[in-house]
Structure 1
Amino acid sequence: MKLATLLLILSLPAFARQDTLPKGTTVPEHPRILLLKGEETQLREATAADPAWQKMHKAILAESDAMLSLPNLERKVEGRRLLGVSRECIRRVFYLSYAWRTTGEQKYFARAEAEMLGVAAFADWNPSHFLDVAEMTLGMAIGYDWLYGRLSAASRKTISDAILEKGVKTSLETKNNGWLRASHNWNQVCNAGMMYGALAIYEQQPELALQIINRGIASIQLPMKDYLPDGAYPEGYGYWGYGTSFNVLFISALEKLFGKDFGLTAKPGFLQTAAYLENMTGPTGLPFNYSDAGNGGGLNAAMFWFAGKTKDPSLLWVEKSWMESGKNHTRDRLLPAIMLWNNNIRLSSIKPPSALMWTGAGKNPVAMMRTSWTDKNAIFVGMKGGSPSVNHAHMDAGSFVMESDGVRWAMDFGMQDYNSLESKGVKIWGSAQNSQRWEVFRYNNFVHNTLTVNGHLQSVEGNAPITAFSRAENFMQATTDITSLYKGDLEKAIRGIAVVNKQYVLVRDEVAAPGKETLIRWTLLTPADVKITGNNTAELTKNGKSLTLKVDAPLPVEMKTWSTQSDKDYDAPNKGTILTGFEMKVPAGFKGAINVFLLPRKDIQPAAVKALAEWPASK
């Protein structure tokens, strides 16, 4: 047995040792990844028939033209990552290769070839942070495969040797392949990158390539279990765009080449995840950016693949708005894939979804509700349960975002740039209760729209399920039991959030204190100006709009605001934001409920509030 084969077998998880493709499987000639030989004609015809897709095609070509004069990429590591270079490699090579295949213009071929030869000359692709290798390999594989027929023998050898030695083979080493057993985005990205590399150099190393593909088919099923049961992606909006997109790249390449997906698309929850992502965007265009997500949204090419699979163009309502927004999407390194996955769906045929509410259980359960898909001033609420122990999670169980009148009133900071923390020695990847991660300002419960009790952190071991919900349009609601997040501080904590009569938002917390006096702090993070207007009210104003925060509590509350500026030098600045809410001291053994009304109009008179157990619920 060859040493490379032995090393690969030893690196496999036990579940992956049964091949999915039989020994001796052959593949067609190049190009074989995503867009087969001769399919350019069909792609050009479909593009020319629709102005929206013609515009996208031209945008990709224009960006490719802009790349022609750029200097070659250099091996510049930022902190412990080469990932920025790897991602730019995908972007440049994917765009330029697409431009060459659809136009045949030599300038695009020559620039892509030069870029790949430069990357091939790197000493390595930084296997100590294997995402860097995975993305570099994927980009190089697409370029090598798509340009193969035009590349010289010398260029073929240089590029394919780099894909094999600096890409695929590095995944055989145990120190580099822990992601094979991971259930998060690393698995999806790394398996996609390695499979693309294997497909690119298949004829050179057919036995090794086949085993890499089979390893990936088996291993990628681990993170795909995280979509159970309804499609909610535990790592949130930003990492959905990462992990799921590469998962789709993986499946799409298999389908194109072998005519089947080996059962991956049918994995429970996977196709449903498109509805999760669509519902995560509010009327303002901002996503529900819990966990390590950025605070902006954008076009997701993978959503077109999902719409084609489900034959449901309404999944693309948000994507349609992005395409019609006039914004430039060409920083997206995977954008050319949208031309391969669009299924010739015309934007004019995309209608809004019929459901105004979406809920998903799983590791990080969520509920999103809105009063309209077409009204930019609609009310939108996204709330979550879950646990700080989930990969990339924050201490934000029970937190929510809220919009009305085109303003996001209740917001989430989302992530802080990893290198900005790591470069200052902050250890952000520990998830134990005493980990330094929870000292980072943006990551703990003190600055999320949830409860803080006795000034303590939420419990990492806690987990908050969504216990009930209702899609009734006059009382959309979801409740989550956050009790276990406050172990030792509260005997009971259940939060319900409702959109009432499509007019306002109600947040109800039912709590029970232990045998000691307890201080409960209720916070809302906002980009608005805040004015305390009474013993139980505050007024938020922004962009000429206003929102009244009104508290109905059984004991006196102290309305407050808190600064969002940290005194630690490693914390990001949070200009233009403030925390508001209140504190309430409750006696030993207290049992009661706190109602907070978020009122877009001052003339709204909130209805009487029932106990959470009496809230109507869907089955």
Structure 2
Amino acid sequence: MTYFYSFIKTTSLLLLMHFCATAQTSYISATAKLPDHPRLLLLKGEEEIIKRTIKSDKTWSSLNQAILTECDAMVNIAPLERIKIGKRLLDKSREGLRRVFYLAYAWRMTHQEKYLKRAEMELLALSAFSDWNPSHFLDVAEMTMAVSIGYDWLYNDLSEQSRSVIKEAILKKGIEPSMDPQYNGWLKITNNWNQVCNAGITYGAIAIYEDQPEQSKSLINRAIASIVLPMGDYKPDGAYPEGYGYWGYGTSFNVMFISAVEKLFGSDFGLAQQPGFLKTAGYLENMTGPSGNANNYSDSGLRGELQPAMFWFAKKLNDPSLLWVERNRLMNSDPKQHVKNRLLPATLLWSNGLDLTKIAEPKATMWVGEGKTPVALMRTSWSDPSAIYVGVKGGSPSTSHAHMDAGSFVMEADGVRWAMDFGMQEYESLESKGVDLWNMQQNSQRWQVLRYNNFVHNTLTINNKLQRVDGKAPLTGHSNTPLFMNATFDLTSLYNESLVKATRGVALVNKAYVVVRDEIETSSTETTARWTMLSSANVSLTGTNKAELTKDGKTLILQVLEPATVVMKTWPTDPTHDYDTPNPGTILVGFEVKIPANTKTAITVLLTPASSASQKKQPVPPLQQWPH
């Protein structure tokens, strides 16, 4: 996340010019008046809509009760204290948002005094912090949103003295630092910092609008002009450049922003219609495998989680099938599993009276998105837990929060994640040991971190070198042909020091097995290509060109069709530095191929679940003959 500091230095002049040209636009009328409190997300009396939803649906009732039960547990715990972890106060800001949002929701739904009193206690404790850590402004943004929701939702029930203290904190510790050029570089950048910070400060401006009307209008206008910058990264199809985990962060706060503004002004000022933004719901839905785990490339965790913003998208698009994954999370798991999600009450706010039992599964089994980080996501079924799922990505290591993983893929079958990704390593575990984590230069320490370089990703390594930071793998073709779903990517610029050409195609064939094909053209020197796949399965090398992976009583066969002669290998995933996190229970399987100078060759690998082992395999044509 601190990457944003170095990112500012390289933000293009075009974006700066755009922001300067639009920052003074008055989106909000000078005579605009806001409704009385509460006015953020849920107006006075709108609780009744949620109560009707809860009353008519057991799943929604259970989720509501889980929030109330969690609030009961909060009643007797001490308020948060201002204790930083390294450079961040962010864990306190996030927990503050969770506590205040939950408790304020519980008060509005039940009017039980214990929730009001506990929320007020938390609000006063947060307001008493010396500051909200503006040097790492995400901390300020989330804290401002937390305190603003509490101030607004409880406004009519707080004492005048408490209101005064909380309002002063919003102004002095949230809004005013956002106006200081020392802290507000996020206004001009295109990653999740912009989305989160603009949302948080706008909530503050809305909360104290009647006391600071001109300043609040200016801040809301500023945010509308600024937040279009990261929204540009959803073009053209909705693929979010920073991956699953940061979609859940940046996109969720973007939706919190749009929802609040649209509620008050009857307009989202064209934000939802920004190219690709509404399409991103399809991206997020398809980024979850049949196991429920995320396609966790870049800085993402593996565990999928309920995404409240998806209910906003489904309502906006009038497409409940977008909620197939969320439906399963709500209906098939204990609602207590969701209570660590600080935005969970928004799920009920955006539930729209939806009957979860009537949600139909999506029709399409393939989703493709271009953009900064192009992806292709394929599966054989939405309803079969044993379905085959494969997701492959292109893109560049230079993208915000990216790894050296262009060309990498994940693959599931029979409920097992066979081809996996480590995802992120917790930032503080690296920063506390002095790792220069946010330096994206080619030879920076970032790329020595085991989980970040290409050596442990499911892609090619050429001559034992790192992928090029300035390289990019575009999507070059794709097809949703049912019996040969596929996508191809041009990896050449990732390896242009060593190769003339490198392309990768991944196909889901006959709904039965996966093909990974690489076509390589060498330059004037002999080249060594290493093909690797990371797995948590047990691996047995059963032949020179074959390996058998077993896990949870299931089996996958990895077979190399070409070159005809290879020697299968495994490599450990032990930490290479004292700052690398351990990776128990994982292994790399693959092989190395020496390719003569000035040669064109192909590497073709089949990944076949045991349940499809008897199925006849069809010849794998050159990539240029794949249907696109």
TM-score class, shorter-chain normalisation, is over 0.9
2:365 pairs, out of 356, 364, 367, with: 356
The aligned runs of 1:475-514 (5 Å cut-off) are: 475-514=484-523
Partner residue of 1:4? none
Partner residue of 1:293? 300
2-side partners of 1:259 and 1:22: how far apart? 12
Partner residue of 1:460? 469
The aligned runs of 1:393-408 (5 Å cut-off) are: 393-408=402-417
Conservation of the 8 A alpha-carbon contact between 1:237 and 1:289: yes
Residue identity in the other structure for 2:356 = L
Partner residue of 2:427? 418
2:143 is equivalent to residue 132 of structure 1 = no
1-side partners of 2:599 and 2:608: how far apart? 28
Q: CA deviation at 1:555?
A: 5.6
2:278 is equivalent to residue 271 of structure 1 = yes
Partner residue of 1:474? 483
Deviation string, structure 1 residues 358-410 (Cα, Å, up to 9, x no partner): 00000000000000001100100000000001000000000000011110000
Conservation of the 8 A alpha-carbon contact between 1:230 and 1:360: yes
1-side partners of 2:119 and 2:224: how far apart? 30
1-side partners of 2:386 and 2:118: how far apart? 46
Conservation of the 8 A alpha-carbon contact between 2:450 and 2:576: no
The aligned runs of 1:556-571 (5 Å cut-off) are: 556-571=565-580
2:561 is equivalent to residue 552 of structure 1 = yes
Partner residue of 2:343? 334
SS of 1:223's equivalent in the other structure is helix
Q: CA deviation at 1:594?
A: 1.0
Residue identity in the other structure for 1:25 = A
Partner residue of 1:613? 624
1:392 pairs, out of 397, 401, 405, with: 401
Partner residue of 1:254? 261
1-side partners of 2:47 and 2:473: how far apart? 50
Q: CA deviation at 1:537?
A: 0.7
1-side partners of 2:438 and 2:250: how far apart? 18
Partner residue of 1:76? 83
1:522 pairs, out of 518, 524, 531, with: 531
2-side partners of 1:375 and 1:49: how far apart? 29
2-side partners of 1:41 and 1:598: how far apart? 53
2:43 is equivalent to residue 36 of structure 1 = yes
2-side partners of 1:565 and 1:152: how far apart? 57
SS of 2:177's equivalent in the other structure is helix
2-side partners of 1:339 and 1:42: how far apart? 10
2-side partners of 1:606 and 1:550: how far apart? 12
Partner residue of 1:443? 452
2-side partners of 1:514 and 1:539: how far apart? 34
Conservation of the 8 A alpha-carbon contact between 2:394 and 2:472: yes
Partner residue of 1:45? 52
1-side partners of 2:606 and 2:70: how far apart? 48
Deviation string, structure 1 residues 118-150 (Cα, Å, up to 9, x no partner): 010000000000000000000000000000001
2-side partners of 1:570 and 1:226: how far apart? 32
2:242 is equivalent to residue 235 of structure 1 = yes
Conservation of the 8 A alpha-carbon contact between 1:283 and 1:378: yes
SS of 2:505's equivalent in the other structure is strand
Partner residue of 1:7? none
Residue identity in the other structure for 1:177 = N
1:538 pairs, out of 540, 547, 563, with: 547
Residue identity in the other structure for 2:135 = S
SS of 1:462's equivalent in the other structure is coil
The aligned runs of 1:309-348 (5 Å cut-off) are: 309-327=316-334, 328-348=337-357
Q: CA deviation at 1:28?
A: 1.3
The aligned runs of 1:86-105 (5 Å cut-off) are: 86-105=93-112
Partner residue of 2:220? 213
1:588 pairs, out of 588, 597, 621, with: 597
SS of 2:323's equivalent in the other structure is helix
Deviation string, structure 1 residues 468-493 (Cα, Å, up to 9, x no partner): 11101100000001011001111111
Query: Share of identical aligned residues, percent?
Result: 60
1-side partners of 2:615 and 2:575: how far apart? 36
1:157 pairs, out of 159, 164, 171, with: 164
1:146 pairs, out of 153, 167, 172, with: 153
Deviation string, structure 1 residues 473-526 (Cα, Å, up to 9, x no partner): 100000001011001111111000001101100001010011111000000000
Residue identity in the other structure for 2:28 = L
SS of 1:174's equivalent in the other structure is coil
Conservation of the 8 A alpha-carbon contact between 1:232 and 1:360: yes
Structure 2 unmatched runs, 5+: 1-18
Residue identity in the other structure for 1:323 = L
Deviation string, structure 1 residues 231-277 (Cα, Å, up to 9, x no partner): 00000000000000000000000111111111111111011000000
Partner residue of 2:10? none
Residue identity in the other structure for 2:523 = P
Residue identity in the other structure for 1:150 = D
Residue identity in the other structure for 2:64 = H
Conservation of the 8 A alpha-carbon contact between 1:597 and 1:606: no
Partner residue of 1:26? 33
2:131 is equivalent to residue 116 of structure 1 = no
2-side partners of 1:458 and 1:250: how far apart? 37
SS of 1:220's equivalent in the other structure is helix
1:198 pairs, out of 173, 192, 205, with: 205
Deviates more, 1:592-601 or 1:218-227: 592-601
Runs of 4+ in 1 over 3 A off after TM superposition: none
SS of 1:277's equivalent in the other structure is helix
Conservation of the 8 A alpha-carbon contact between 2:463 and 2:528: yes
Conservation of the 8 A alpha-carbon contact between 2:50 and 2:353: no
1:283 pairs, out of 276, 283, 290, with: 290
Deviation string, structure 1 residues 315-370 (Cα, Å, up to 9, x no partner): 00000110022232000000000111011111111111000000000000000000
Q: CA deviation at 1:572?
A: 0.6
Q: CA deviation at 1:607?
A: 1.2
Residue identity in the other structure for 1:435 = S
Deviates more, 1:58-67 or 1:600-609: 600-609
Structure 1 unmatched runs, 5+: 1-11
2-side partners of 1:25 and 1:559: how far apart? 69
Conservation of the 8 A alpha-carbon contact between 1:13 and 1:181: no
Q: CA deviation at 1:51?
A: 1.3
Conservation of the 8 A alpha-carbon contact between 1:521 and 1:582: yes
Deviates more, 1:360-369 or 1:588-597: 588-597
Partner residue of 2:8? none
